[in-house]
């Protein structure tokens, strides 16, 4: 990079805070912004939470445990369907089992049913634009009638 280009790039980056354009990220998400701080949820019980991109709370992680393999369904209801985000079901190592990108205008979205192995699993709720309260419910039914989730890295 030439000296002139570097100076221009520096000037642009330095002006971002003055223009009001800054990335807030998960500055105010709390512990549940990471898998290690995931909030436990009971199966078959709806829980409410909130995400706000402007307030720096973009990510919530939830965790649940299964005593045996089960058909898992994750339901999410958005209060504001104009947001941009996603919901991802992950295994005990954080590998993606399944997920859904939010379809704008849709209030209710579903992952599954999907056969999930026994042990701890996670749900990652991510918001990249907007703010919304959401209701999440993880349902589990003992059965082997649906295919297993392929376990692969989420690159």
**Could you write out the DSSP letters of every residue in the chain?**
--HHHHHHHHHHHHHHHHHT----TTTT--GGGSGGGPEE--TT--EEEEEETTTTB-EEEEEEEESS-EEEEEEEEESSTT-EEEEEEE-TT--EEEEEE--TT-SEEEEEEEEE-SEEEEEEEEEEESEEEEEEEEEEE----SPBPPPB---
pLDDT at 21: 43
Query: Is the residue at 120 inside a domain?
Result: yes
Return the higher-pLDDT residue of 141 and 57. Answer: 141
Query: Is the residue at 98 inside a domain?
Result: yes
Position 42 confidence tier, pLDDT thresholds 50, 70, 90: very high
Query: Is the residue at 1 inside a domain?
Result: no
Is 133 a residue whose pLDDT tops 90? yes
Query: Is the residue at 9 inside a domain?
Result: no
Query: Is the residue at 3 inside a domain?
Result: no
pLDDT at 136: 97
CATH number of the domain to which 137 belongs? 2.60.120.380
Query: Is the residue at 64 inside a domain?
Result: yes
How many structural domains does the chain have? 1
Query: Is the residue at 153 inside a domain?
Result: no
pTM over 0.85: no
Q: Point out the least confidently predicted range of 35-49, 67-81, 118-132, 133-147.
A: 133-147
Is 99 a residue whose pLDDT tops 70? yes
Give the range of the structural domain holding residue 129, as residue numbers without chain letter.
23-141
Position 79 confidence tier, pLDDT thresholds 50, 70, 90: very high
Query: Is the residue at 59 inside a domain?
Result: yes
């Amino acid at each position: 990079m030439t000296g002139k280009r570097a100076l221009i790039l520096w000037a642009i980056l330095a002006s971002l805070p003055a223009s009001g354009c800054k990335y807030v990220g998960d500055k105010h998400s709390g512990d549940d912004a990471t898998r290690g701080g995931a909030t436990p949820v009971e199966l078959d019980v709806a829980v409410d939470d909130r995400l706000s991109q402007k307030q720096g709370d973009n990510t919530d992680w939830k965790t649940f445990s299964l005593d045996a393999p089960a058909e898992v369904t994750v339901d999410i209801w958005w209060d504001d369907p104009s947001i941009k985000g996603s919901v991802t079901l992950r295994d005990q190592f954080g590998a993606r089992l399944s997920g859904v990108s939010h379809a704008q205008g849709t209030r209710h979205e579903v992952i599954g049913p999907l056969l999930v192995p026994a042990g701890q699993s996670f749900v990652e709720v991510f918001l990249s634009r907007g703010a919304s309260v959401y209701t999440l419910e993880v349902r589990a039914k003992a059965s082997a009638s649906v295919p297993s989730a392929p376990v692969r890295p989420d690159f």
